[in-house]
Structure 1
């Protein structure tokens, strides 16, 4: 297929102005002015008038419980698998799946199978090996082997620290884990990151600071999420990002305010990403650690908060989009994702002034039209 998107206002995520986008097969091959006659005579070619629409890269969500999560309240609290229609409705074209608290009744085989199913449905997928637990549970027996030998594994996570649900690993154990993932990344050309779940305990990011200060750990190998639990944790995340690590905010109703606070604290925006935690549980515990409430995270929150961030004083749409496109692609070493440019995958959203997705493509395939998903899972 050849698709010409004509006259969209392009944010790649940097603003390029009004441009045409040429898609051939699964890739973007040109951005600029393209004469219509250059494609109209080609077989299976289509020309789409995108004037008045904004073209942005498909979102990358680096933290999704694609096979479900939860379970902190017992077997009945296990959350369901995610639906591909829910993913694409939120403008997401690439997801990274992870296990969470439960690495016992949920397996990496399930996670890998679900990732392959979602990719067959029409989006791009990757996964983390491991879970909250240290030592990490894996598919092959070791983290380094999983990263090197399994195509979809790009790192290990989400490893829990500063949380009652953590397995309370020593800093030495964390250093070993991060090193295994990092070396696996070096050998396979992948990110080799370690994705850390950060809980509300007073130690906050202290274990990760010690990793970077006391061990020969590459800072880009450290990727910490859930950094908005408190003002103190957010300030700690600013300090960690200054050392070269990537930090991530879980999208919620106040994410734009948290981004504003991060900026005011001097945080490096190029080291910040947003994620949804979709289909993971959002448990609420009392002071004694008893579960008193439970909700399920939704991917649509991520989409909504990106546009909220774009309205912040001193912040523009390019910076807001980078939090879910180019920044995430850089953190996960996905050079073919997160940008609208020649050679990148044709993951493109076309939105109107009300931020409705009028058209969306994943690797050149139409996945959303007029806000409605055009792909669904087998059993939807």
Structure 2
């Protein structure tokens, strides 16, 4: 079965203008202006995408795919990610991880869910570890997990500057980064360290110190960098000196009232500060709990992050901050795919996976979604559900 998408305004992420592409099974088989075999290729479905924009599927690098939370007791453990949420949010690839709870949740369960997402037609990878050090590994160590477990591309989210972290020393943190780096080298993976940043005044201290060592800034994915104004100021400085900045799109009115920097504004300010889009990403913190604590550290409220928040934030950012669509595509897809070395992801190129979104040119509404060549949304209507939905 072949699918020819014609006359689309393609952002790959770089703008290609009005072009066409051919999907063969799960890959982009051809990309150009006039497909030469349109009249002769058998079993060819043709989609006329005139008046629509084609971009790569969203890559969400921070999702609690087996649920998160638990900070308010067992009843506050959040639910697993479901396929229909990915489809509704234009997300074709996720990187799953554990957060606070590595007691009732495990890396083994995370890898099982990663494989389940793949079996349902989407793409997924995982991180070993959690907020805590030492890491509860499956193969005897972080280096071993990354090198030997195919879906595992790094470690995290390791908590720093947060009352829920294990309060690691700088030396412990750097030994973890070194192990992840070597595990990545041995297996041809990114070997990244996903770093959860909390609200404590220590902020990015460890990452600024790490920048003075032989471990390069590209080894780290510091996330939640827009969670308060002070941390965001440090994020601008860290990004300008070569670091990577991940912004969290899931939010609440309370978080914004308390000083969280809205993602669109954060992106505009980072770009103005000289941080390139190639080092900025949006992630959702999907299915993670979003707890609110008082000054004494007591839980006062709880809601859930959603993978759909990235697409919603992309649309509002283009509208409110007049940023180029090419920039937005990099931030929601290409940067995370490249930094995490996810093969075939984040670009529209021949030989890459057919993870594609067709948007309405007027308003950027989500019209059609392909994941690994399979049509999962058409006319704005999801065509698939998960196994137990």
Please give the range of the TM-score, normalised by the shorter of the 2 chains. over 0.9
Q: Residues of 2 paired with 1:325 and 1:98: CA distance?
A: 18
TM-score, structure 2 normalization: 0.94
SS at match of 1:324: helix
Contact 1:238 1:268 in 2 (8 A): no
Q: Is 1:339 equivalent to 2:347 in the alignment?
A: yes
Q: Is 1:362 equivalent to 2:371 in the alignment?
A: yes
Contact 1:3 1:24 in 2 (8 A): yes
Q: Is 1:262 equivalent to 2:270 in the alignment?
A: yes
Q: Is 1:104 equivalent to 2:100 in the alignment?
A: no
Q: Residues of 1 paired with 2:320 and 2:343: CA distance?
A: 28
Q: Cα deviation per residue 1:126-175 (whole Å; 9 max; x = unaligned)?
A: 00000000111112121011101111000001000000001000110010
Q: Is 1:220 equivalent to 2:218 in the alignment?
A: yes
The CA deviation at 1:335 is: 4.2
Q: Is 1:325 equivalent to 2:325 in the alignment?
A: no
Q: Residues of 1 paired with 2:9 and 2:273: CA distance?
A: 32
Q: Residues of 2 paired with 1:244 and 1:190: CA distance?
A: 21
Q: Residues of 2 paired with 1:354 and 1:230: CA distance?
A: 30
The 10-residue stretch of structure 1 (348-357 or 274-283) with the greater mean CA deviation from structure 2: 348-357
Q: Residues of 2 paired with 1:269 and 1:51: CA distance?
A: 28
The CA deviation at 1:91 is: 0.4
Q: Is 1:249 equivalent to 2:243 in the alignment?
A: no
Q: Is 1:46 equivalent to 2:45 in the alignment?
A: yes
The CA deviation at 1:243 is: 3.5
Contact 1:122 1:367 in 2 (8 A): no
SS at match of 1:220: helix
Contact 2:250 2:306 in 1 (8 A): no
Partner of 2:186: 187
Partner of 2:304: 296
SS at match of 2:210: helix
Q: Is 1:14 equivalent to 2:14 in the alignment?
A: yes
SS at match of 2:332: coil
Q: Cα deviation per residue 1:176-232 (whole Å; 9 max; x = unaligned)?
A: 00111111111111110000000000010001111121x311221011000012222
The 10-residue stretch of structure 1 (302-311 or 342-351) with the greater mean CA deviation from structure 2: 302-311
The unaligned stretches of length 5 or more in structure 1 are none
TM-score, structure 1 normalization: 0.96
Q: Residues of 2 paired with 1:13 and 1:278: CA distance?
A: 24
Q: Residues of 2 paired with 1:186 and 1:355: CA distance?
A: 39
The 10-residue stretch of structure 1 (61-70 or 315-324) with the greater mean CA deviation from structure 2: 315-324
1:54-93 equivalence runs, <5 A? 54-93=53-92
Q: Cα deviation per residue 1:276-309 (whole Å; 9 max; x = unaligned)?
A: 0011000000000000000001112110111222
